[in-house]
Amino acid sequence: MEQSAEELNKIEKKDLFTSGHRACGGCGQALAARLVADASGENTIACVATGCLEVFSSPYPDPSWRIPFLHSLFENAAAVASGVEAAYKALNKGPVNIIAQGGDGSTADIGFQCISGMFERGHNVLYVCYDNEAYMNTGVQRSSFTPLGARTSTTPMGNKTRKKNMPLLAADHGIPYVATATVDDFRDLQRKVKTALSIEGPKYIHILAPCPLGWGHHGELSVQICRLAKDTGIFPIYEIIHGKVSNVRKIPVKVPVEEYLKLQGRFKHLFKKGQPTPEVAEIQEIANQNIERFNL
Amino acid sequence: MGKILMKGNEAIGEAAIRAGCLNYFAYPITPQSEVAEYLSRRMPEVGGVFLQGESEVAVGYMLFGAAGCGARVLTTSSSPGISLMSEAISYISSAELPVVFVNIVRGGPGLGGILPSQADYFQATKGGGHGDYRLLVLAPSGVQEAVDMVMMAFPLAEKYRNPVMILGDGLIGQMMEPVEFSDHLKSEPSNKDDWATNGMDTRNRKERNLVKSLFLDAELLEEHNLVLKAKYDRMKQEEVRYEPYNLETDYRALVVSYGTMSRVCKTAIDNMKAEGIEVAMIRPQTLFPFPIDPIRAAAAKDGCQAAISIELSMGQMVEDVERSVQGKCPVHWHGKAGGEIPTPEEVVDVIKSLIK
């Protein structure tokens, strides 16, 4: 459905994902889930993978969801959503927004196969990834989204590998819409959800969702950390519409990655007596590559 | 080294290193993630490998690959994770590779909960994956026994070239108890030439080792299954382990219980003894092979009015108790599956309601 620029840019507050859930203070994922639900509207079915979101928002008697909600397991939110979409087609019902949602593992690790299948078969489903860069629900173990250098409970010496680039992997399936977003810019995030839902076919939105517990920062810094992730070039903001990179967010004033890393306990070991270790230069290099690649 | 106080999951990790296992593959799942966290620290210290897979499916085949080249390998998981590994368990069993699995069981079905459970009894003892295979299943009732069983599991897996599963539960994984570790085992299986792939090295042997499970020819598959069956029959002869409790008395009922639940039953039995009521227990330490003959003999004793399977499930082991007792006395079941553990008082009331 075509929407006017005014409609797309309006911030939606419908309370379809209510307060009173059990997320930690400053949880990026809780904020993102609310923005996504409110942008999608009442005519939406949420298929949610196991993870923090499901655990803190679904327990009886105080679930937060005021839209239909299906929960399965880590690996299969995309498959469940494929089934929902196929059933709606077979029953000749709809139109309805079908949104599959998951975290790191559900998206990039155990769930990757089901997502790839959903993209390739061309289901009319929006997949939203809440990226908090580790398995937070089970106690902060590394995922393939864990960035270089970050300490987790299974990488006690710091992670040795680079983060998997899921938005580009999604785009390479040839799906019509891919976007990245962060939780500090409500208008941008909701505009992307609404844009995605107006397009027929598989869509993918990748949202950086800071986790105060796992990242080791104060809850009130979650929004600031998102801004720094963007302004350092660590997390580029863009859309890929029918294969073409568009609407890239330009960095107003470039910030060195140290400003981003220093706010977070998981990178503390990268600074010895205030001096950065060689890994910091490597992380700066990753940010520089992003800046060059997307012309940030 | 004397006794130290350790959490069950961490003690299992340490025991694996003492058992000479330097290859650990896993994926996090509550309530056993501490094993992975502990070994992510410890394995590099001893020159070992910890690989976190992208899923339990991947982990299952990392085990297949590593065991297939002769390494001593371990994974730990919890119920839903073991379900995902079940395909690999079937393939590993058919390829006759020694692998040790630890299942710190949580409540099910589905995602269930994260509290202790024994609801994976069927999955562990009767399959879970497809085909005619059996796991040798060890059931510890505390942290020390979990450590001892890890030490025991590797030589058993290698003796039979068969996967061994240690079936714990969330309580054993999460609680702390004093433990003592025995000496290190050697870090390489002595008989690995029997199964490890060695390419074209035919100088020292007549046949090459192929790690595989495909037998399209009916006769060959039949033959393969008979080889496996002979192993399982030998386990039934040689590996049955159980602990008798209060069996020397003139008991009026026989309890069959294992793992965490058996500890509560012991207290219940002690409390009833103080009241002048004798009740005996057989605690299976191997769930496959199951202690069929000892249970039958105990149930057949004069004065035994009932056999009661007490388990943290909706009645799984009771089927094996029934086929063991073979009608010598009535068989009953009592259990819970939500994650709560029956209290000694509850167990006493159940037993009293079944005897005169």
DSSP state letters, B244-261: EESTTS--SEEEE--HHH
For domain B242-354, the question of CATH label 3.40.50.920 is answered with yes
Identify any residues that bridge with B6 across adjacent strands, giving them in sequence order. Answer: B177
- Distance from C-alpha of A41 to C-alpha of A250, rounded to nearest angstrom: 30
Question: For B67-123, what is each residue's pLDDT tens digit?
Answer: 999 999 999 999 999 999 999 999 999 999 999 999 999 999 999 999 999 999 999
* Residues of B in Cβ contact (< 8 Å) with A138: 28-30, 33
Of the residues B25, B51, B54, the best mutation for testing chain A's interface (the one with the most A CB atoms within 10 Å of its CB) is B54
By the CB < 8 Å criterion, does A151 face chain B? no
pLDDT of residue B59: 97
Percentage of chain A modeled with pLDDT above 70? 99
Question: DSSP assignment of B259-314, as one string?
Answer: HHHHHHHHHHHHHHHHTT--EEEEEESEEES--HHHHHHHHTSTT--EEEEEESSS
Q: For Cα atoms B309, B311, B316, give the angle at the middle one, nearest 5 degrees.
A: 75
Nearest by CB to residue B55, choosing from A110, A153, A154, is A110
Sign of CA dihedral B308, B312, B313, B314: positive
Ranges of each domain in chain B? 4-196+227-237, 242-354
Supply the Cα-derived Rg of chain B in whole angstroms. Answer: 21
Closest chain B residue by Cα to residue A108: B54
* Residues of B in Cβ contact (< 8 Å) with A145: none
Closest chain A residue by Cα to residue B26: A154
Cβ neighbours around B44 below 10 Å, total: 13
Cβ contact B54–A50 (<8 Å): no
By the CB < 8 Å criterion, does B40 face chain A? yes
Structural domain tally of chain A? 1
Q: What is the pTM of this model?
A: 0.92
* Residues of A in Cβ contact (< 8 Å) with B56: 110
- Distance from C-alpha of B307 to C-alpha of B329, rounded to nearest angstrom: 7
Residue B202's pLDDT band, with cuts at 50, 70 and 90, is: low
Residue B192's pLDDT band, with cuts at 50, 70 and 90, is: confident
- State which fold the B4-196+227-237 domain adopts: Rossmann fold (3.40.50)
Question: DSSP assignment of chain A, as one string?
Answer: ----HHHHHSPP---SB-S---PPTT-HHHHHHHHHHHHH-SSEEEEE-SSHHHHHH--TT---BSS-EEE--TT-HHHHHHHHHHHHHHTT----EEEEEE-HHHHHSTTHHHHHHHHHHT-S-EEEEEE-SSBTTTTSB--TTPPTT--BTTBTT---SPPP-HHHHHHTTT-SEEEEEETT-HHHHHHHHHHHHTSSS-EEEEEE---HHHHT--GGGHHHHHHHHHHTTSS---EEETTEEE-PPPPSS---HHHHHTT-GGGGGGEETTEEPHHHHHHHHHHHHHHHHHT-
Contacts for B3 with CB less than 8 Å, ≥ 6 apart: B178, B179, B180
Tell me what ipTM this predicted complex has.
0.86
Question: For B138-152, what is each residue's pLDDT tens digit?
Answer: 999 999 999 999 999
pLDDT of residue B196: 87
Instruction: Please compute the mean of the pLDDT values over residues B251-277 and round it to a whole number.
Output: 98
Q: Does this chain's domain B4-196+227-237 share its CATH topology with B242-354?
A: yes
Supply the Cα-derived Rg of chain A in whole angstroms. Answer: 18
Sign of CA dihedral A232, A234, A237, A241: positive
Nearest by CB to residue A139, choosing from B33, B54, B57, is B33
3-state secondary structure of B115: coil
Backbone phi and psi for residue A98, each to the nearest 5 degrees, phi listed first: -115, 120
* Residues of A in Cβ contact (< 8 Å) with B84: 75
Question: DSSP assignment of A145-166, as one string?
Answer: TPPTT--BTTBTT---SPPP-H
By the CB < 8 Å criterion, does A184 face chain B? no
pLDDT of residue A1: 56
- Distance from C-alpha of B56 to C-alpha of A105, rounded to nearest angstrom: 12
* A4 Rama class: left (phi>0) / alpha (psi -120 to 50) / beta: beta
Pairing type for strands A97-102 and A126-131 reads: parallel
Distances (CA, A) of A130 to A33, A108, A145: 8, 11, 11
- Comparing A56-65, A266-275, B15-24, B257-266, the range with the smallest average pLDDT is A56-65
Please report which helix (H) or strand (E) contains residue B176, including its range.
strand B176-179
Identify any residues that bridge with B284 across adjacent strands, giving them in sequence order. Answer: B242
Question: DSSP assignment of B136-170, as one string?
Answer: EEE--SSHHHHHHHHHHHHHHHHHHTS-EEEEEEH
pLDDT of residue B179: 97
pLDDT of residue B127: 84
Contact B147, B179 (CB under 8 A): yes
Q: State chain B's mean pLDDT as an integer.
A: 95
Look up residue B165 and give its two tokens: 């599963």
Nearest by CB to residue A154, choosing from B30, B40, B55, is B40
By the CB < 8 Å criterion, does B41 face chain A? yes
* CATH value at residue A18: 3.40.50.970
Contact A72, A49 (CB under 8 A): yes
pLDDT of residue B208: 72
- Distance from C-alpha of A103 to C-alpha of A211, rounded to nearest angstrom: 12
Residue B195's pLDDT band, with cuts at 50, 70 and 90, is: confident
Cβ contact A141–B28 (<8 Å): yes
Nearest by CB to residue A138, choosing from B28, B50, B57, is B28
By the CB < 8 Å criterion, does B80 face chain A? yes
pLDDT of residue B200: 64
Instruction: Please compute the mean of the pLDDT values over residues B219-225 and round it to a whole number.
Output: 96
The distance of Cα A264 from the centroid of its chain, to the nearest Å, equals: 19
pLDDT higher than threshold 80 for residue B178: yes
Please report which helix (H) or strand (E) contains residue B317, including its range.
helix B317-325
* Residues of B in Cβ contact (< 8 Å) with A154: 28, 36-37, 40, 50, 52
The CA dihedral of A267, A270, A271, A277, to the nearest 10 degrees, is -160
Tell me the nearest-neighbour CA distance from B171 into chain A, angstroms: 17
Q: Which residues of chain A have pLDDT under 70?
A: 1-2
Pairing type for strands B306-311 and B253-256 reads: parallel
